[in-house]
Amino acid sequence: MTQRFMAPADIEAKSFRILQEKMGPFHGTEEELAIVTRVAHATADVDFGMSLYIHEGAIKSGLSALRSGAPVITDVEMVRAGIRKDGLESMGGRVLTFLNDPEVAEMARNTENATRSQMAMRKALPRMEGAIVAIGNAPTALFEIIDRIKAKEASPALVIGMPIGFVGAAESHQELIELDYPSITAPGPKGGSPVAAAIVNALIKLALRP
């Protein structure tokens, strides 16, 4: 019979035991496993978690940024809401989201074929040096970051590229992979704000280890 009520810590522990059984052997680092497991847990999709692309410099760069108090810049409030702010703030960092900034809305109105998410990334450019950028919703935001990195106008420590959908998401993921830049993404159209937040939270937990 299913146990319907359990303590939160017991639920989490049991969830991760089940995940480890489903995942089987993992041929990566302990830190990569922590991220993959967190994503699989957030999505209840082991195959998706195992499909993550983690650039060889991504984790080291992301952890260094967090420990130095760098901000996490997100494309939407949903990613912001899902990030473990107490852990981030204990290292001197904070979450920045410019989507609802009035100036961003004005920029989007005055720029042809522009989205607010794209313009929010432009607004964030002065804060982006050495930061972590976590995109969980808008492919246009990720395309903007990729273009700015290519133009040497942005140099974040890490790009987490997880926009979701059938228009542009898979293409933006692939462009990020081909950029050969410290990044975490996944082939195909899957992603979403909970995934982006889960990756940030996994990195925060790793950064806080003694």
Catalytic residue selected from 27, 41, 55, 173: 41
Burial class (CB in 10 A: 0-12, 13-18, 19+), 37: buried
Please confirm, yes or no, whether 41 is among the known catalytic residues: yes
Amino acid occupying residue 102:
P
Give the Cα separation of 169 and 142 in Å (integer).
9
- Name, in order, each residue with C-beta under 8 angstroms of 7's C-beta and a sequence gap of 6 or more: none
User: 123 φ, ψ to 5°?
Assistant: -60, -35
Give the Cα separation of 67 and 138 in Å (integer).
27
Query: For residue 24, what is the DSSP state?
Result: -
Query: For residue 208, what is the DSSP state?
Result: T
Q: Are 43 and 199 in contact (CB under 8 A)?
A: no
Active site residues per annotation? 41
